[in-house]
Amino acid sequence: MTQELWNAVDRYVTDLLVPADEALTAALAASDAAGLPSIAVAPNQGKLLHLLARIQGARSVLEIGTLGGYSTIWLARALPEDGRLISLEYSPAHADVARANLARAGLDKIAEVRTGAALTTLPKLVAEPGAGPFDLVFIDADKENNPRYVEWALKLTRPGSVIVVDNAVRGGAVADAQTTDPAIVGTREMYELVAREPRLDATAVQTVGTKGHDGFLLARVVA
């Protein structure tokens, strides 16, 4: 009953405010056809990421965890023509689907998918002349590495940059101090890192909807 109600409200909001769109619909269909898991952000969440990037006036975005590039499309569409998005993806198969989806969306000039474990590709990115600072970082990959990803995000941002972490609530599991689930442990360690990190000012908000009960952590780099 509850999930049905959340779905109905997501449908209501999405029908009015997040109109269906050829490239986004095709990206999800191609991801399904390729057997990718259905764990992309919901349409209204993708729109939230897009609006955050626009409000931020972002010209550069770093994404960790591409999947089929659905969130990537939302974020890349927030950037100016000379903007740049780099998305890091472990799975070559996911990256291939994402690249095709980005090309179909006309975003292949703006958005680049780099294959490999993000903990391998992030140090390479830091060493690259002209890479960063990014105006917005979206973290949505393997949750056990969330604290490491926030640390790398700090090396790749500037005061005023925004960091968003997906799946920050996980049905409330994040509040369970006894958990041994590595994804939840990693996410809790990420919260603790953010809490003690003087360069970050943050909050987290619970969400309900087609993706169940979850949430986003939102941080601003202050120094």
Residues engaged in binding ligand DHB (CB under 6 A): 39, 140, 166-167
Nearer to Mg ion (CB atom), residue 63 or residue 140? 140
CA distance 85 to 25: 21
CA distances from 210 to 16, 31, 70, 182 (A): 16, 18, 16, 24
Does the footprint of ligand SAH cover residue 41 (CB under 6 A)? yes
Does the footprint of ligand SAH cover residue 55 (CB under 6 A)? no
Does the footprint of ligand SAH cover residue 91 (CB under 6 A)? yes
Number of residues located near ligand SAH, criterion CB under 6 A: 18
88, 113, 150, 219: which one contacts ligand SAH (CB under 6 A)? 88
Asked whether the beta carbons of 158 and 58 are under 8 A apart, the reply is: no
85, 141, 168, 190: which one contacts ligand SAH (CB under 6 A)? 141
Does the footprint of ligand SAH cover residue 168 (CB under 6 A)? no
Site string for Mg ion, 138-177 (x = CB under 5 A): --x-------------------------xx----------
CA distance 154 to 139: 12
Nearer to ligand SAH (CB atom), residue 65 or residue 132? 65
How far, rounded to the nearest angstrom, does the alpha carbon of residue 207 sit from its chain's CA centroid?
A: 15
Q: In the complex, what is the shortest distance from the CB of residue 18 to ligand SAH, in angstroms, rounded to a whole number?
A: 14
Contacts of residue 88, Cβ cutoff 8 Å, sequence gap at least 6: 62, 63, 64, 65, 66, 113, 114, 116, 118, 121, 122, 125, 141
Identity (one letter) of the amino acid at 94?
H
Q: In the complex, what is the shortest distance from the CB of residue 56 to ligand DHB, in angstroms, rounded to a whole number?
A: 21
* Contact stretch for ligand SAH (CB under 6 A) within 7-15, 62-70, 105-113, 201-209: 62-70
Buried b (16+ CB within 10 A) or exposed e, 167-178: bbbbeeebeeee
CB atoms within 10 A of CB 121: 18
CB burial class (10 A; 0-12, 13-18, 19+) of residue 5? exposed
Does the footprint of Mg ion cover residue 63 (CB under 5 A)? no
Which among 71, 68, 67, 28 is positioned nearest to 52, based on CA atoms?
A: 71
Does the footprint of ligand SAH cover residue 89 (CB under 6 A)? yes
In the complex, which residues of this chain contact Mg ion (CB under 5 A)?
140, 166-167
In the complex, which residues of this chain contact ligand SAH (CB under 6 A)?
39-41, 65-67, 70-71, 88-91, 94, 117-118, 140-142
